[in-house]
Structure 1
Amino acid sequence: MILLLGGTSDIGVELTRRLCAGQHVVVCARRPENIGDFPGAASVSTLAFDATDLHTHRNVIDEAERLAGEKTTTAILAFGVLGDQHRAETDETHAAHIATVDYTAQISMLTVLADHMDHGHIVAFSSIAGWRPRRANYVYGSTKAGLDAFCQGLADRLHGTGLGLYLARPGFVIGSMTEGMTPAIMSVRPHDVAEAVADRIRANQPGTFWIPKKLALLAAVMKLVPRPIWRHMPR
């Protein structure tokens, strides 16, 4: 069974479509009525899901498996918010909301899944924004930095267990979340990210990987930029 957490995510939907042939799919979303179609899936069920309601995370997985009639073998954590950096600098409630959705809820669900699943694939999404957070988006960037660090440790914990963690580090993703924003260098689209992750899952190669691969070189250069210059870098 494929469990998609974040049913309106461009990347999550694209990835699920690449993996769903013959599979039972359960799509969890705040607005489950807005999900797309998944051609070739054995069945598709929907479930209301609020990532910030942390105490429901185990129940969501149990209910999803009841709907599908089988255990989860692939879990895709695709929920998240970009937030408004300018607002978050003075509105502590908004800053905390970004942190809750993009970090706290992620590590809660990852912990539940790692405890619940005994084999298969767990997919999480980091970002170039977390590699070295910038002045222009440090709230969102800090959550991705924290999530990335958590996933490094979780991946080591799961090594050799039959349950693999796939952590994608894409560059700027041109999609609904970034609509209206100017694309950055080495930008990708949701289908690019989905195809890269799907290829790793098909090859059974868990781990951390940049999308596109050449983004790793840019990331290495980013670490070398002096702080007085870095603080003026755009998003």
Structure 2
Amino acid sequence: MKDAFGTPQSLLLLGGTSEIGLATARRLIARRTRTVWLAGRPSPALTAAADSLRALGADVRTVPFDALDTESHEERLGKIFTEGDIDLVLLAFGILGDQARDEADPLAAVRVAQTNYTGAVSAGLVCARALQSQGHGSLVVLSSVAGERARRANFIYGSSKAGLDAFAQGLGDALHGTGVHVMVVRPGFVRSKMTAGLAEAPLATTPETVARAIELGLRRRSETVWVPGALRAVMSALRHVPRPVFRRLPVR
């Protein structure tokens, strides 16, 4: 259960090597989170992530998890909830892909869509049902401003995030009143390993800044969080730009 200050005592991070996810875990551990589950593909990076959080004083456990192996989600994720209540599930896995390559290779494009959307739908529903059964908890879903309006430069990734965003919003409505809180987080360009080598977009942010926004959103029980907050107004305007004009904008 959350403590008297509203801080989650336990965290399940789906995408155990996610830079945003780990930055969030570090902040929460500093605020009293004591049990952390890292779900991800077994790798030296996952082991290192677990060790780094243990060094901060948390009880950290790892569980094999593959977004593409949806048939295993029920068993592997469900087993975590049988060992005790989970206060916070952070769905932080996803891949950016390579737009030019993925356009030329439909199977690569499908992998982006399956990881970012299909895998997230499967894992999200499994965790949502478990949270509902225990009667409390939060599900935080990392979306992206790229899902707000498809751009020529990354419409494959953007469309997968658009689907995820709509799913998470609908799931939040379905769980309203059950004691389970769903929060959608929409970061802009995040300086991370995933975006290394890419031209930086305006209003770029960092994993640590996103983590702070997640923590604040949890305290406020927000349903949607933009990082940085200025993107709410920017994207509201861009959504209404006529397509012929949008095609000529430098945001492409």
Report the counterpart of residue 68 of structure 2 in structure 1: 52
Does the aligned pair in 1 maintain the 2:67–2:119 contact within 8 Å?
yes
Q: 1:62 to 1:224 in 2, by over 3 A?
A: closer
Is 1:95 paired with 2:112?
A: no
Is 1:122 paired with 2:139?
A: yes
- In the TM superposition, what are the counterparts of 1:174-193 in structure 2 within 5 Å? 174-193=191-210
Cα distance in structure 2, aligned partners of 1:129 and 1:165: 20
Q: State the Cα distance separating 1:28 from its structure 2 match.
A: 1.0
Cα distance in structure 1, aligned partners of 2:35 and 2:23: 16
Report the counterpart of residue 95 of structure 2 in structure 1: 81
User: Could you state the TM-score of these two structures normalised by the residue count of structure 2?
Assistant: 0.87
Cα distance in structure 2, aligned partners of 1:159 and 1:150: 14
Which of 189, 213, 216 pairs up with 1:199? 216
Report the counterpart of residue 22 of structure 2 in structure 1: 13
Is 1:105 paired with 2:116?
A: no
Count of paired positions: 232
Cα distance in structure 2, aligned partners of 1:234 and 1:219: 11
Is 1:63 paired with 2:79?
A: yes
Aligned-residue sequence identity (percent) comes to 41
Report the counterpart of residue 211 of structure 1 in structure 2: 227
Cα distance in structure 2, aligned partners of 1:81 and 1:153: 23
Report the counterpart of residue 145 of structure 1 in structure 2: 162
Cα distance in structure 2, aligned partners of 1:148 and 1:25: 25
User: Could you state the TM-score of these two structures normalised by the residue count of structure 1?
Assistant: 0.93
Cα distance in structure 1, aligned partners of 2:216 and 2:33: 18
Cα distance in structure 1, aligned partners of 2:212 and 2:150: 26
Cα RMSD (Å) of the superposition? Answer: 1.6
In structure 2, stretches of 5+ residues that fail to align are: 1-9
Q: State the Cα distance separating 1:19 from its structure 2 match.
A: 1.5
Report the counterpart of residue 161 of structure 1 in structure 2: 178
In structure 1, stretches of 5+ residues that fail to align are: none
Does the aligned pair in 1 maintain the 2:37–2:62 contact within 8 Å?
yes
Which of 15, 24, 29 pairs up with 2:35? 24
